[in-house]
Structure 1
Amino acid sequence: MSTSVTDVIERTDADAPARAEEAANDTGIQSFLVTFIIRRFNPEVDEEPRWVDYDVELYSTDRVLDALHKIKWEVDGSLTFRRSCAHGICGSDAMRINGRNRLACKTLIKDLDISQPIYVEAIKGLPLEKDLVVDMEPFFASYREVQPFLIANSKPEPGKERIQSIVDREVFDDTTKCILCAACTSSCPVFWTDGQYFGPAAIVNAHRFIFDSRDDAGDVRLDILNDKEGVWRCRTTFNCTEACPRGIEVTKAIAEVKQAVLRGRA
């Protein structure tokens, strides 16, 4: 009896899980059954969000994003979340993991207590669209309002770049690291209760240009942030600094903008 290519492919696919398990056993790497409790919401059928639990076989070196992929690909394809680069650069997979804002792609299973369920939900303070996805438009509206781009009154010499010293660059180097994940802004208690507050991320990105020696519109941004919903709404709780996956000293940056507002210049 002849064997078709299709038969070989089907047998190969069917044997794949067994081969993967055998390979894991050969390396001596131990897997664990981890319980995830995810806050689900489908606006087409749910009136309120609901918690759903999933048991996932993982390794200590896996990330929360790997677990979400496994749930979506192998258990429930309707699970909805954002992700792109999976390497902590794009910032699209910010979510609350065990009550803290983190990037799913940077949160390792080994850094969590897997003897207890791992709770995952959408970030707070922004309109919930579906499952772990929120509407980011209010966040980006505040970002755009602080004019986060270089504004210079003079042009550089033809064919030349704008020169800046190492010392001048160091002044705002920290705030250039923002990836607009909204982890800081959505960890802020003021932002949760006041939908008009600019939020930490917008202030951080204003800081990046206010203190840039090549920029000539620092006073404009300071006027914008001197508004009642600007820097003075910050209560210095340090939630934003703790939540930042890039290690930006967000609270320090906000304090520096406050001082610049009081001085009337950067």
Structure 2
Amino acid sequence: MATPTLDKADAAGTPEPGFADSPYITATFRIRRFNPEVSGEAVWEDFQLEIDPKERVLDALHKIKWDHDGSLTFRRSCAHGICGSDAMRINGKNRLACKTLIKDINPAKPITVEPIKGLTVLKDLVVDMEPFFQAYRDVMPFLITKETNEPTRERLQSAEDRERFDDTTKCILCAACTSSCPVFWNDGQYFGPAAIVNAHRFIFDSRDDAGEQRLEILNDKDGVWRCRTTFNCTDACPRGIEVTKAIQEVKRALITRRY
């Protein structure tokens, strides 16, 4: 006699969620496509997927590329919210595709995916990051000291001094904050929040001796004074950095010359 098949159950006899019933849903991903070799105009294209809502938008993009359209182009690397390469606009908000769960963005409606704003789109979800990285390089994001020789001992720093700039060390250069800024959208010459955050990280580092230089760089007409304090950058940061606060601290340092 055949042994009957039973649903997997817990100790109380209750079937485990998602075991008897399929956990998959049908979700529509509406992706903004652009291929300069085909057309100068961007178009929206829909893809329907059977997918677990606990998966991430990045997983959905992989399924589309691997199973539906191999020409879909996007950046990604670590897939764990560390490299910052897969920043994009998802349902109108800057997010990291690898950290955004499908269940958290209302999969009952089409999920829109498009490139971040303010930077030239090269293809599909890939933008030209060079202006962003040039602003980053311009603020000299590295330790500068007056010593001409290698130090003979470790440069010690108190926990209090380290805490002063701890928040801005979290930046992963994803450009989510900069590309959420209306000033940057309208004028690509603005340094942007990410560059200012990375300048802040060294301006307030007690071991660094180039604070005045960085402040003068940011005192330019395209520097911190262009900020309109809309808090878009803080809302967009996937690392939870208080970006607007850091910008205000740089402004205050420019006025008081105390940092």
**Does the TM-score normalized on the shorter chain lie above 0.5?**
yes
Matched-pair contact (CA < 8 Å) for 1:218–1:265? no
Please give the per-residue CA displacement for 1:97-117, whole angstroms capped at 9, x wherever unaligned: 000000000000110111110
Taking the aligned partners of 1:90 and 1:124, their CA distance within structure 2 comes to 19
Q: Structure 1 residue 236 and structure 2 residue 229: aligned?
A: yes
Give, in whole Å, the separation in 1 of the partners of 2:239 and 2:150.
32
- The reply to whether residue 167 of structure 1 matches residue 160 of structure 2 is yes
Q: Per-residue CA shift, 1:38-61, capped at 9, x if unaligned? A: 000001011110000000111121
Q: Displacement of 1:25 after TM fit? A: 7.0
Instruction: Tell me whether 1:148 sits opposite 2:141 in the alignment.
Output: yes
2:59 maps to a residue whose letter is D
Other-structure match for 1:14: none
The CA distance in 2 between the partners of 1:123 and 1:25, in whole Å, is 35
Aligned to 1:35: 28
Q: Partner residue of 1:217? A: 210
Q: Distance in 1 between matches of 2:239 and 2:28?
A: 28
In structure 2, what is the equivalent of residue 186 of structure 1?
179
- 2:254 pairs with 1:254: no
**Matched residue, 1:71:** 64
Give the Cα–Cα distance (whole angstroms) in 1 for the partners of residues 220 and 246 of structure 2: 17
Deviations, residues 148-171 of structure 1 (Å, cap 9, x unaligned) = 00001125642x211000000000
Alignment of 1:107-118 (within 5 A): 107-118=100-111
* Partner Cα separation in structure 1 for residue 256 and residue 22 of structure 2: 59
Which amino acid is 1:145 matched to? D
Runs of 4+ in 1 over 6 A off after TM superposition: none
Q: Distance in 2 between the 1:55 and 1:37 partners? A: 9
**C-alpha separation between the residues in 2 aligned to 1:35 and 1:262?**
51
Structure 1 gaps, min length 5: 1-23
- Whether 1:88 aligns to 2:48 is no
1:98 aligns with 2:91: yes
Residues in 1 aligned to 2:20 and 2:220: alpha-carbon distance in whole angstroms: 59
In the TM superposition, residue 29 of structure 1 has moved relative to its aligned partner by: 4.8
The equivalent residue for 2:3 is none
* C-alpha deviation, 1:27, in angstroms: 6.6
Q: Distance in 2 between matches of 1:92 and 1:156?
A: 34
Alpha-carbon distance in 2 for matches of 1:224, 1:29: 57
TM (norm. structure 2) is 0.91
Identity of aligned residues (%): 72
Paired with 1:248 and 1:34, the residues of 2 have a C-alpha distance of 32
SS at match of 2:133: helix
**Which amino acid in 2 is paired with 1:82?**
R
For the residue of structure 2 that corresponds to 1:172, the secondary structure is coil
8 Å Cα contact 1:156/1:162 also seen in 2? no
8 Å CA contact retained: 1:241, 1:248: yes
**TM-score, length basis structure 1:** 0.89
**Count, aligned residues:** 242
Question: Residue 207 of structure 1: which of 193, 200, 218 is its match?
Answer: 200
Q: CA deviation at 1:265?
A: 3.6
Contact 1:147 1:206 in 2 (8 A): yes
Q: Measured at CA, do residues 50 and 196 of structure 1 come closer, stay the same or move farther in structure 2, by a change above 3 Å? A: same
Structure 2 unpaired stretches of 5+: 1-16
Judged with a 3 Å threshold, the aligned counterparts in structure 2 of structure 1 residues 25 and 195 are, in CA distance, closer, same or farther, namely closer
Flag the 1:25–1:217 CA change in 2: closer, same or farther, 3 A: closer
State the SS of the aligned residue for 1:196. Answer: coil
Shift of 1:264: 2.2
2:220 to 222, 227, 235: 227
